[in-house]
C-alpha cells in the first residue's frame, strides 16, 4: 500500500511517497515543521479587505492513501492546523497540549 504526500509552498509542489501510514505521518510532520520554520508572510491588502498572516495559508502538506485524505496547513505566521476530508475539510481538534501533528496521528491511527 502506498501513501502519497504533496508539499505545496507557493508555486512549488513536491511529491513524496511512503510505504506505510506511520512513515507517511512522519514525512507530513517533517515537511510541515520545515514550512513553519520558513519566512512568514506580511499582511496583504486588496481593495476593501486585508488578509493577516494568520488568515493566509503559506504552505500545505497533503496526505492521501486508501480511503484517507488529510493534511496540515501552515499559516503565514507559522501556526499549523491539521485537517481531514477531501472536498469539505474539517479541522482536527487538539486535545490538551498535543501538537497538530499528534492530533492528526491520533485521528488517523485510531
Please give the residue that has the higher pLDDT: either 33 or 87: 33
Query: Sorting pLDDT into bands at 50, 70 and 90, what band is 1?
Result: low
Domain presence at residue 72: yes
| C-alpha cell belonging to residue 72 | 496540515
Domain presence at residue 20: yes
Domain presence at residue 27: yes
pLDDT at 50: 85
Domain presence at residue 76: yes
Is 70 exceeded by the pLDDT of residue 54? yes
Residue 104 · residue 60 · CB < 8 Å: no
Domain presence at residue 92: yes
Domain presence at residue 99: yes
- Total domains in the fold of the chain: 1
Percent of the residues in the chain that have a pLDDT greater than 90, as a whole number:
69
pLDDT at 31: 97
Domain presence at residue 46: no
- Whole domain around residue 26: which residue ranges? 3-41+51-109
Domain presence at residue 22: yes
pLDDT at 81: 96
pTM (two decimals): 0.87
Amino acid at each position: 500500500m502506498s501513501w502519497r504526500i504533496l508539499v505545496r509552498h507557493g508555486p512549488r509542489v513536491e511529491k513524496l511517497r511512503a510505504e506505510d501510514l506511520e512513515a507517511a505521518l512522519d514525512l507530513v510532520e517533517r515537511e510541515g515543521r520545515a514550512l513553519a520554520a520558513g519566512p512568514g508572510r506580511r499582511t496583504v491588502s486588496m481593495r476593501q479587505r486585508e488578509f493577516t498572516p494568520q488568515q493566509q495559508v503559506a504552505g500545505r502538506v497533503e496526505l492521501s492513501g486508501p480511503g484517507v485524505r488529510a493534511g496540515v496547513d501552515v499559516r503565514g505566521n507559522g501556526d499549523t492546523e491539521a485537517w481531514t476530508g477531501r472536498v469539505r475539510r474539517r479541522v482536527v481538534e487538539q486535545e490538551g497540549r498535543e501538537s497538530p501533528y499528534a492530533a492528526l496521528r491520533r485521528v488517523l491511527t485510531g
